[in-house]
């Protein structure tokens, strides 16, 4: 029972990590709260679903969903955020909220207001050891998240571009003085962060077997809480915070059966962290 809840919590936490990482990376480099990131997440789910209906292969639809999200994220950065960077940060924040609402409406117009089933055969099969049971989609989430996190870690620590991206988050001006095209680094940052959100959209679409226009609205604010919990811009902190929130939700509701709204857990955690450790779980003053 305990192991079961642990696995469930980690699976949910993994999806939170995929969404929140893009948000924290964007904040780290541009100091913008990218609320529309959750719209990109939903977009990834829709693109994945429609491509699945066309091609009938889940893994291909996952890749198409990630690519669709990445391209959308890229254009959001180029067309909306970069032209506004010279203004106070409230301007891109307002644009981001507006874009998020517009995306939800666009999904409604294009795909209809009802939930659509993402009934994909992944081809992994369930796993049962005694009373411990992992569904196929949970295994899928764990595998995909692990693969993406390993890729992200290797990219950030082992490649020149990854190193430049970390340097940029610390000091973009000095980074540019070493020959780094900061604008290109920001674009790569959005491509990667948005692809991860797109993957999360597809995974949740399959996990819940549904895709709907406002599926991003709860992740939109929950991811903000997680990013604050992890320490804004802190990548390992964000992964940790995501898992903590996933586990806390599962334990409070699943094990202790406390009648407490599930989606409030992240915010209670955020409030506690802001009171006692304002730089986040792994943050230093």
What residues make contact with another protein under the rule CB under 8 A? Answer: 160, 163-164, 166-167, 170-171, 173-182
Minimum distance, C-beta of residue 170 to another protein, in the bound complex (Å): 5
What does residue 73 show for φ and ψ, rounded to 5 degrees? -60, -40
Helix/strand/coil for 61: helix
Nearer Cβ to another protein, position 97 or 163?
163
Minimum distance, C-beta of residue 117 to another protein, in the bound complex (Å): 45
Minimum distance, C-beta of residue 182 to another protein, in the bound complex (Å): 7
Nearer Cβ to another protein, position 152 or 197?
152
Report which secondary-structure segment, H or E, holds 90: helix 90-111
Nearer Cβ to another protein, position 119 or 181?
181
Alpha-carbon gap, residue 205 to 92, rounded angstroms = 29
202 within 8 A of 28, measured Cβ to Cβ: no
Report which secondary-structure segment, H or E, holds 48: helix 37-55
Minimum distance, C-beta of residue 108 to another protein, in the bound complex (Å): 42
| 47 burial level (CB within 10 Å; 0-12, 13-18, 19+) | buried
Nearer Cβ to another protein, position 115 or 170?
170
Minimum distance, C-beta of residue 148 to another protein, in the bound complex (Å): 23
Report which secondary-structure segment, H or E, holds 229: helix 217-230
Nearer Cβ to another protein, position 35 or 235?
235
Nearer Cβ to another protein, position 149 or 182?
182
Write the DSSP string, 19-46. HHHHHHHHHHHH----TTHHHHHHHHHH
- Closest listed residue to residue 233, CA positions, set 275, 266, 265, 189: 189
116, β-bridge pairs: 211
What does residue 280 show for φ and ψ, rounded to 5 degrees? 95, 170
Minimum distance, C-beta of residue 284 to another protein, in the bound complex (Å): 10
């Amino acid at each position: 029972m305990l192991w079961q809840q642990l696995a469930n919590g980690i699976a949910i936490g993994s999806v939170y990590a995929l969404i929140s990482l893009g948000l924290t990376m964007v904040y780290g480099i541009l100091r913008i709260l990218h609320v529309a990131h959750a719209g990109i997440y939903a977009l990834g789910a829709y693109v994945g679903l429609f491509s699945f209906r066309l091609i009938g292969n889940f893994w291909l639809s996952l890749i198409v969903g990630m690519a669709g999200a990445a391209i959308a994220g890229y254009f959001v950065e180029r067309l909306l955020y970069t032209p506004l960077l010279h203004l106070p940060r409230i301007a891109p924040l307002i644009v981001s909220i507006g874009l998020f609402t517009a995306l939800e409406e666009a999904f409604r117009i294009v795909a209809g207001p009802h939930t659509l089933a993402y009934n994909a055969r992944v081809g992994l099969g369930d796993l049962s050891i005694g009373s411990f049971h992992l569904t196929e989609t949970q295994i899928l989430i764990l595998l995909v998240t692990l693969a993406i996190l390993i890729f992200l870690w290797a990219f950030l620590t082992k490649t020149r571009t990854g190193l430049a991206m970390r340097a940029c988050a610390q000091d973009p001006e000095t980074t540019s003085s070493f020959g780094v095209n900061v604008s290109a680094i920001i674009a790569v940052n959005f491509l990667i962060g948005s692809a991860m959100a797109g993957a999360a959209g597809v995974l949740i679409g399959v996990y819940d077997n549904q895709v709907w226009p406002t599926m991003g609205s709860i992740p939109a604010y929950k991811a903000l809480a997680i990013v604050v919990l992890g320490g804004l811009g802190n990548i390992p902190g964000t992964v940790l915070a995501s898992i903590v929130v996933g586990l806390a939700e599962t334990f409070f509701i699943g094990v202790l059966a406390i009648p407490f709204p599930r989606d409030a857990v992240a915010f209670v955690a955020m409030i506690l962290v802001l009171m006692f450790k304002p730089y986040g779980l792994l943050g230093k003053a």
